[in-house]
Amino acid sequence: MFRVISLCSITILYGLASNALALEVFWDGEGGDDLWSTAANWSDDTVPTSADFARNPLADSTMLIDGTVSAEVAKLDFGIETGPTTLNITGGTLDVLSDGVDAESGSVRVGFGGGTIADATASTLNISGGVMTTESNLFIGFNGSATLNMTGGEVKVGGTMVLNEVTFFGGKGHVQLDGGTIEANLILLKQSGTMDVTGGKLLYGSVLGPVPGAFDNIDDLVSNGLITAYGGTGTIVVRSVPHSGNIIAEELAIEVTAIPTTGPLPGDFDSSGDVTGSDFLAWQRGFGIPVGGGASISDGDANGDGGVDAADLALWGEFVGARALAGPGPAVAAVPEPSSAMLLMFGLVAGQCYVIRKCRSFA
């Protein structure tokens, strides 16, 4: 059963046959300490290398990569049908490298064929530190359910971060981003993929939603509640920023963060939905109103102390170039601003422009 599914998945996802014969190394947990680097935890008591496909089908098991571990592997699947599996990364590194032969290599698949998220079969990737790099794709839920809980560290996805690839089973892929940085060349939310943000940041090149053409940008995903801030009570904040080079599809990355409140962003003095040079002019007009002087947001008071001074300009500077995205709740009307000239002054106009390109890895 499993082999049939696996082969079909390869065909469906990649449209080409895989002929790699990389060694499969299985987690047996016999080392008793959960550490990736403990040889006894693996079949044949050998820690996998960048030439191996690592798999963990051991239900209720936990794998640990901490600051002592520098792990390399050609592919990692865990939570394989039999039950929930957890990988905790608290430090160190996990590099998942393509072997140049197998189309699936370079990828991590969490929750491989493991039922719905309500089941005990949902698997979890917890990252609180360290760096995980996948040369190819990261699947959170693959014919099964999985959650990525991110509270620190870095995830660098050279291919596509896919939330829930459902081909044969139900399931759900969820990313809970509470800290750290996720950088993905491309993000694809499949049938029931969701993300919630309370901290940290997400950088991506392009994003595609569950219905190609319908949800093809983050505005759609947020307005339809698939990407939320603080469980829906906050605001998703996006802007275009330079990136470290991991994102190959775009010159600029889209940065996604969150603030815990709704309403105008700090520095959005004209409540237009974005923070631009027009807001700077509003601050300039109000500048000099003393603290407690009754100034409002529209006067340039970003911190609510009733005055308009350098502290308010600092908040404007923190959010300039950012846009607030309204969730499914009461809509916040975004009024387009003739801001290009002002943004040119601040050297930011390029950051306002990006092109959503077609999904490269998954047509």
Question: Which parts of this chain interact with Ca ion (CB under 5 A)?
Answer: 28, 30, 40, 45, 268, 270, 272, 279, 301, 303, 305, 307, 312
- 3-state class of 233 per DSSP? coil
Nearer to Ca ion, 158 or 351 (CB): 351
Nearer to Ca ion, 215 or 269 (CB): 269
Nearer to Ca ion, 28 or 95 (CB): 28
Handedness of CA 205, 210, 211, 217 (dihedral sign): negative
CA distance 159 to 207: 12
| Residue 128 C-beta: closest distance to Ca ion, Å | 27
- For 58-122, the DSSP string reads -TTEEEEE-TT-EEEESEEEES-SSS-EEEEEEEEEEEE---SS-TTTTEEEEEET---TTSTT-
Nearer to Ca ion, 32 or 213 (CB): 32
CA distance 303 to 326: 21
| Residue 61 C-beta: closest distance to Ca ion, Å | 12
Nearer to Ca ion, 212 or 263 (CB): 263
Nearer to Ca ion, 11 or 46 (CB): 46
Nearer to Ca ion, 119 or 270 (CB): 270
| Residue 122 C-beta: closest distance to Ca ion, Å | 26
218-227 exposure pattern, b = at least 16 Cβ within 10 A, e = fewer: bbbbbbbebb
The residue of the chain with the least Cβ separation from Ca ion equals 272
| Residue 274 C-beta: closest distance to Ca ion, Å | 5
What Rg, from alpha-carbon coordinates, does the chain have? 23
Report the C-alpha dihedral over residues 255, 226, 182, 135, rounded to 10 degrees.
Answer: -110
- For 252-318, the DSSP string reads SEEEEEEES--SSPTT-TT-SSB--HHHHHHHHHHTTPPTTS---GGGT-SSSSS--SHHHHHHHHH
| Residue 289 C-beta: closest distance to Ca ion, Å | 8
Residue labelled with tokens 């959503």: 356
| Residue 285 C-beta: closest distance to Ca ion, Å | 14
| Residue 5 C-beta: closest distance to Ca ion, Å | 26
